[in-house]
Amino acid sequence: MSDLRPPEHQVAGHRAAVNKLGPLVDGAGLFYKPLQALDRGEQELAFYTAFSAHPAVPPRIRDTFFPRFHGTRRLPTAASPGESHPHLVLDDILDGLAAPSVTDIKIGACTWPPRAPEPYVAKCLAKDRATTSVLLGFRVSGIRVADAGGAVWRPDRSELKGTDIPGVRRFLRRFVSSVGGDGLDCALAAAVYGGEGGVLAQLRELKAWFEEQTLFHFYSASVLLSYDANAASLAGGSVGRAVRVKLVDFAHVVESEGVIDHNFLGGLCSLIKFIDDIVAEVSRTAPAGHS
């Protein structure tokens, strides 16, 4: 296990450090997420355990849109020599992407679960109101844009926290743009967002499931969008496996008691509309003969 290291391409959440727990990867396709405190880790473990074996979850949904769950493993901690901490063992969803561009989008106008402690509700409500969660039903929590030449663009967290609706539009345009120049050419919008295997097609498939599923409510979960800037297929508009849409962060998932998760579904529909508008705008302004 000596090859464990913090994920190079992490865009949101707590980062591992000498005296701080955080996610790790092993370079062999696995992702190790430390169980969170205050019962959140146990709740996320309970979700993965139930979800991975739930007979009502379509295999296509589970295998396509969720990290595969491989149980737990106790790993030593640098902060407390001689001690270990339990970690969820999951698929590294960026494994195999040579130059990953990634964005973490937290879904839902409400990001706290029912019966959450009042101080936590107040904290979440303040953040939801200060960002675009209440207005749009989602917010951009992190973003990293790479290109095939190795250049990387990543905004400061302070810039993300203060983002308004026009700012979200800029981030989602920047996500499919060249790293150089003004960074808003949307050169990969059609290839990444559009097409048979693109982001929109995958989000709509996920939406169709959320329109029917009454198993879980996903509070404070994120949609992670990623693609490989090195993928030659992007230039031809055929993305294949180069574009990935995954759900992550399940510490606040609760059983739905037979009710559709309108909070998550509403945010997902809003995100689809936002991205669809970007693709339509790029298509209208593209020179003749270009997509």
In whole angstroms, give the CA distance from residue 232 to residue 121.
46
Report which residue type is found at 104. D
pLDDT at residue 16 tops 70: no
What pLDDT is stored for residue 80 in this prediction?
A: 65
Domain span at residue 279? 100-285
Contact indicator for 24, 6 with CB cutoff of 8 Å: yes
Same domain for 86 and 106, yes or no, is: no
Query: What is the count of structural domains for the chain?
Result: 2
Closest C-alpha to 246, from 188, 192, 203: 203
Q: Are strands 84-91 and 30-34 parallel, antiparallel or unpaired?
A: antiparallel
What is the arithmetic mean of pLDDT over 138-146?
94
In whole angstroms, give the CA distance from residue 268 to residue 286.
27
Looking at per-residue pLDDT, the higher value among 241 and 254 belongs to 254
Domain boundary among 91, 115, 131: 91
Domain boundary among 58, 91, 124: 91
What pLDDT is stored for residue 233 in this prediction?
A: 47
Helix, strand, coil: what percent of the chain each, to 5? 35, 20, 45
Contact indicator for 245, 65 with CB cutoff of 8 Å: yes
Same domain for 123 and 178, yes or no, is: yes
Please write the tens of the pLDDT for every residue from 86-113.
999 999 999 988 889 999 999 999 999 9
Residue count (the chain): 291
Same domain for 165 and 193, yes or no, is: yes
Report the alpha-carbon angle 139-145-68, nearest 5: 70
Please write the tens of the pLDDT for every residue from 163-212.
899 999 999 999 999 887 667 889 899 989 998 889 999 999 999 999 99
Closest C-alpha to 141, from 121, 126, 157, 117: 157
Same domain for 112 and 83, yes or no, is: no
Domain boundary among 61, 91, 121: 91
In whole angstroms, give the CA distance from residue 289 to residue 282.
13
Same domain for 163 and 45, yes or no, is: no
What pLDDT is stored for residue 159 in this prediction?
A: 85
Same domain for 48 and 146, yes or no, is: no
Please write the tens of the pLDDT for every residue from 47-83.
999 999 999 999 999 999 999 999 999 988 766 667 8
CATH of the domain at 126: 3.30.470.160
pLDDT at residue 214 tops 60: yes
Residue 153: count of CB within 10 angstroms of its CB: 17
Domain-embedded: residue 11: no
Domain-embedded: residue 9: no
Same domain for 87 and 173, yes or no, is: no
Domain-embedded: residue 8: no
Contacts of 199 (CB under 8 A, 6+ apart): 192, 193, 225, 243, 245, 275
Looking at per-residue pLDDT, the higher value among 162 and 73 belongs to 73
Same domain for 85 and 172, yes or no, is: no
Q: How confident is the model at residue 232 (pLDDT cuts 50, 70, 90)?
A: very low
Please list the residues that pair with 216 across neighbouring strands. Answer: 255
Domain-embedded: residue 18: no
